[in-house]
Amino acid sequence: MALPSIYGCENSDIPGTRRVLHKETTPPEGTTVHPGDEIVVEITWSVADWIAPDLHKALDCVYIDNRYVAQLSGGERPTPNDGHFAYRYVVPADVRPGSTICDQGFVSGPNGEEEYGREVSNLVCFPVGPTPSVGPPPVERTTTTTTTMVEQPPTEQSNRYDQQVPPDTQPVSRPAPVVRARDELPRTGGDSNPARLAAGALTLALLCRTGTRRRSRLRRP
């Protein structure tokens, strides 16, 4: 775990310190940075340079305009001799535009010659640019869309369906025809034979006519 402000960066320029560490940064060296930007540091070394499984410390030392800034520096103590150390820091908000921010790796441990052997990396620097201006938030525009419904004429198929469906109407009720009974002559006697009745009626008519003629003759002077 990286810890801030670990003692040791002030020993990076002691005589006998070897500059053999390799260092890479994101963004690359020489990139213009701005307040609030993050700088990621990767430091590597040869494991064979050291005789112990753990080293005393691995640091990243940060400088602004050649002045050591303990608040931005940090590292691990102790650190495993695995040949790698990573660190990151953020460009301060109050750093002046036109300044230069630099950092340098530092490793210390037993190397077979002395208990506190020292190795450092190349010095990587970045020019500091002005704080990016923040413009007003974009105006959100609201677009209103009006949809006009167009009534479509009925299709031929819908017309055909309409013709096949009978209208929903109730049938008109008509009064039933009144059947009138035919006029019938009253029946006399108990004979129900129509031929006999007709013959009797004819005979009766002839008798009546004959009687009428006789009375007419008697009345003449």
What CATH number corresponds to the domain at position 121?
2.60.40.1930
Report the relative pairing of strands 18-26 and 117-121 from DSSP bridges.
parallel
Residues 32, 94 contacting (CB under 8 angstroms)? no
Enter the tokens of residue 47.
Answer: 């494991």
Q: Is 186 inside any structural domain?
A: no
H-helix or E-strand spanning residue 15: none
Q: Residue 116: CA atoms inside 13 Å, Cβ hemisphere, count?
A: 6
What is the count of structural domains for the chain?
1
Q: Is 159 inside any structural domain?
A: no
Q: Is 79 inside any structural domain?
A: yes
Q: Which of 38, 12, 15 is nearest to 25 (CA)?
A: 38
What is the mean pLDDT of the segment spanning 29-57? 96
Asked whether the bond before 78 is cis by omega within 30 degrees of 0, the reply is yes
Tokens 């990286």, residue located: 2
Q: Is 95 inside any structural domain?
A: yes
Q: Is 209 inside any structural domain?
A: no
Q: Is 29 inside any structural domain?
A: yes
Identity (one letter) of the amino acid at 204?
Answer: L
pLDDT digits over 108-155, tens only? 999 999 999 999 999 999 999 998 776 666 666 666 665 656 555 555
DSSP H stretches of helix in the chain: 156-164, 194-219
Question: Can you tell me the distance from the alpha carbon of 113 to that of 94, in angstroms, rounded to the nearest whole number?
Answer: 44
CA 221 to chain centre: 134
Judge if pTM exceeds 0.85. no
Q: In a 3-state reduction of DSSP, which class is residue 66?
A: coil
pLDDT digits over 13-40, tens only? 888 899 999 999 999 999 999 999 999 9
